[in-house]
Amino acid sequence: MSTSQHHIIFIDGICVMCNRLSQTLIRLDSKKQFLYSTLDSGFAQKKRLQPSGDSILVLSQDGTVYAKSKAIRFIIRQLPYVKWFGVLLYIIPRFILDHLYDRIAKNRYQWFGKHNSCPLRTHNRFIQ
C-alpha cells in the first residue's frame, strides 16, 4: 500500500481509547484515505515524527503534520459522514479544544485502560 496516496494517523498503540477510535475511523473511512501506525513505530521514526507528549499525529498526503485538535479536525473533515461535526469543532476556539484534548490524553489510561500491545498491528491498513 503506497503511503504517499494516503493520510497516516499515528496513535498510541497501547491506548484502548485510541484503538477504539481508530477502529471506528476505519469503518467510517469508506474511501480508505487513512493508514494507521503507532507513535513509537519504526515508520514514525523513519518519518522523523516527534510527538509532543500525549498527542495523536496525522501526516497528510502533502506532508503536513497535524497534532492534537488540529489532527482531529483534519480527520473529521476527510470523512463524508461526519463532516458536519467538523463544522462544530471550528466554532470552538482551538485553545479550548487543545485543553480538552490534553485533559483526555492525560487521563486516558485511567479512564479506558491499556492493551499489552497494539491490536491494530494485524489490520491490513496498519504500517509497522
CA Rg value for the chain:
14
The continuous run of DSSP H or E covering 76 comes out as helix 68-78
How far is residue 41's CA from residue 26's CA, in Å, rounded to a whole number? Answer: 19
pLDDT band of 117, cuts 50, 70, 90? confident
Question: Which has more pLDDT, 95 or 123?
Answer: 95
How is residue 5 written as a grid cell? 496516496
**Per-residue pLDDT tens for 15-64?**
899 899 999 999 999 899 999 998 888 888 888 877 666 678 999 999 99
Please say if the pLDDT value at position 66 is more than 80. Answer: yes
Instruction: Say what the pTM is.
Output: 0.88
- Residue 110 CB neighbours (<10 A): 8
- SS3 for 48? coil
